Amino acid sequence: MTNPRYRWVIVAAGGLLGCVAIGGMFSLPVLLRPITHDTGWSVTGVSSAMTIGFLAMALTSMGWGTLSDKLGPLPVVLTGSTLIAVSLALASRATSLIEFQFIFGIMVGGGAAAIFAPMMATVTGWFETQRSLAVSLVSAGMGMAPMTMSPMVARLVSHYDWRVTMLILAGVVASIMIPISLFVRRPPALSAGPVAPSAVAAPQVEMTRAQALRSPQFIILILTNFFCCATHSGPIIHTVNYAISCGIPLVAAVTIYSMEGFAGLFGRIAFGIAGDRLGAKRVLVAGLLAQAFGALGYVFVRELSAFYAVAALFGFIYAGTMPLYSVLVRENFPLRMLGTIIGGTAMAGSLGMATGPLAGGLIYDTFASYAWLYIGSWAFGLGAFLIILMFRPFPKAVANTEAQIVPAPA
């Protein structure tokens, strides 16, 4: 497939796959109360399946990314799509908490990891121009999950019990993700043939995965992504409960999260356009600094209108920064190993996300206040900002080598 217009099909496929995959995983918060009420399992026990899911994503992201580099994205994404659907169906039949945690946490989380890194690597590989916009559109598709999949799950569980709801969700996931996976193709540069030898470009050809994974550029990116995700993880997970503790009714408090997600859609697009025009690193640096102070803003709000204002700003910023990591990877590492490198950054991000649920709960239980959660998020955000300032791109000749492709010999 060499039609340049097909790259937008890849973008659409990535956005839809990400939306359904994330929607499947984030169905758990919607089903939390029905599950605990029906089974008698503890809220902590059931919700910990989500933390296990983040850890599973972290542990499997690089492996899935490496497989996509070697085998191509289609078999990896297809496997992940099938795994998510099967896991949801099996989780609906779980008879013990440990069984549910294993199936939903490890299997659904691991399946979701098979979508993110391979698709981000594939999309960045298809684009030489408008790259930031392309990955931002894929990320925006993933961000649609709270506004599409979550309401669908909520409507289903209002008519059926949680087991039937999860089984229906498994069918929806399978009917959408498996056919869409078949549209995924390798970037043309990797399909065209071997890399042309070039004296100027030799360093890129000789770079191995081991060298890339030991490079300062990779280490800085994974540290930045860890601190970045740790910055917004706590606020994402705990702000609804914080608003309730301020006297805001539950129904209204939930809309704060919706506001955050809605603003994030515009943030992804805006940051993507800005990244194409101003450079991904420059926009990411500014975004990380702004994200830190956006998290701190929650300390000073008590009224619903103020929560809306901070949530809109914070969601716009943190959602906008996330796709830019994949752009920096594409600009600095060989095309043949993008899945591995993006998988590594996704691993770090998932570990950062896993800190929020636990840290927020411990802070609230200790201080009966969420103030230190947001102050801690601000500190993590400043850490991400300071770390990314140390990032130095590879020389341009190195970054662009694998764009030089010659046809494969007959």
Q: Which of 144, 159, 187 is the last residue of a domain?
A: 187
Record the tokens describing residue 220, joined without a space: 């800085």
Q: What pLDDT sits at residue 33?
A: 77
What do you get for the CA distance between the two ends of the chain, in Å?
A: 18
Distance of CA 204 to the CA centre of its chain: 28
Where does residue 130 fall: left (phi above 0), alpha (psi -120 to 50 degrees), or beta otherwise?
left
**Cβ contacts of residue 355 below 8 Å, gap of 6+?**
230, 233, 234
**Cβ contacts of residue 96 below 8 Å, gap of 6+?**
none
Within a 13 Å sphere around the CA of 395, how many CA atoms are in the beta-carbon half? 9
Give the Cα separation of 316 and 294 in Å (integer).
Answer: 10
Give the Cα separation of 133 and 273 in Å (integer).
Answer: 5
Q: What pLDDT sits at residue 260?
A: 87
DSSP state of 404: -
Q: What is the DSSP string of 19-83?
A: HHHHHHHTHHHHHHHHHHHHH---HHHHHHHHHHHHHHHHHHHHHHHHHHHHH-HHHHHHHHHHH
Residue 300 shares a structural domain with residue 211 = yes
Within a 13 Å sphere around the CA of 235, how many CA atoms are in the beta-carbon half? 34
3 state DSSP class of 267: helix
3 state DSSP class of 405: strand
User: Taking the C-alpha atoms of 355, 324, 296 and 113 in order, what is their torsion angle to the nearest 10 degrees?
Assistant: -20
Residue 28 shares a structural domain with residue 116 = yes
Residue 238 shares a structural domain with residue 334 = yes
Does 408 fall in a domain? no
Does 173 fall in a domain? yes
Residue 221 shares a structural domain with residue 97 = no
Q: What pLDDT sits at residue 2?
A: 58
Residue 163 shares a structural domain with residue 238 = no
Residues of 222-250 as b/e, b for ≥16 C-beta within 10 angstroms? Answer: bbbbbbbbbbbbbbbbbbbebbeeeebee
Residue 5 shares a structural domain with residue 60 = yes
Q: What pLDDT sits at residue 289?
A: 98
Give the Cα separation of 150 and 62 in Å (integer).
Answer: 28
Residue 161 shares a structural domain with residue 268 = no
Cβ atoms of 122 and 10 closer than 8 Å? yes
Whole-model pTM: value is: 0.79
Record the tokens describing residue 376, joined without a space: 């801690």
Q: What pLDDT sits at residue 398?
A: 47
Does 196 fall in a domain? no
Residue 233 shares a structural domain with residue 283 = yes
Q: Could you identify the residue written with the tokens 């296990």? A: 52
Neighbours of 133 (CB within 10 A): 21
Tens of pLDDT, residue by residue over 338-369, are: 899 999 998 999 899 888 877 887 888 788 88
Record the tokens describing residue 167, joined without a space: 């089984």
DSSP state of 402: G
Q: What pLDDT sits at residue 395?
A: 74
Record the tokens describing residue 224, joined without a space: 């930045």
Q: Which of 137, 155, 187 is the last residue of a domain?
A: 187
Residue 7 shares a structural domain with residue 120 = yes
Q: Which of 187, 222, 239 is the last residue of a domain?
A: 187
DSSP state of 130: S
Tens of pLDDT, residue by residue over 184-206, are: 998 887 765 544 443 333 334 56
Q: What pLDDT sits at residue 410?
A: 34
Residue 123 shares a structural domain with residue 213 = no
3 state DSSP class of 220: helix
Residue 140 shares a structural domain with residue 265 = no
Q: Where are the alpha helices (H) located in 72-144, listed in sequence order?
A: 73-91, 97-100, 109-126, 131-143
Q: Could you identify the residue written with the tokens 């043949």? A: 336
Residue 168 shares a structural domain with residue 256 = no
Q: Could you identify the residue written with the tokens 């990877």? A: 329
Give me the CATH number covering residue 104.
Answer: 1.20.1250.20
Does 171 fall in a domain? yes
Give the Cα separation of 163 and 173 in Å (integer).
Answer: 15
Distance of CA 275 to the CA centre of its chain: 18
Does 345 fall in a domain? yes
Residues in the chain where the model's pLDDT stays below 50: 1, 194-204, 397-410
Does 389 fall in a domain? yes
Does 180 fall in a domain? yes
The residues that bridge with 195 in the sheet, in sequence order, are 405
Q: What pLDDT sits at residue 228?
A: 96
Does 34 fall in a domain? yes
Record the tokens describing residue 383, joined without a space: 């850490």
Record the tokens describing residue 175, joined without a space: 């009917």
The residue range of the domain holding 28 is 1-187
Give the number of domains in the chain.
2
Q: What pLDDT sits at residue 128?
A: 81
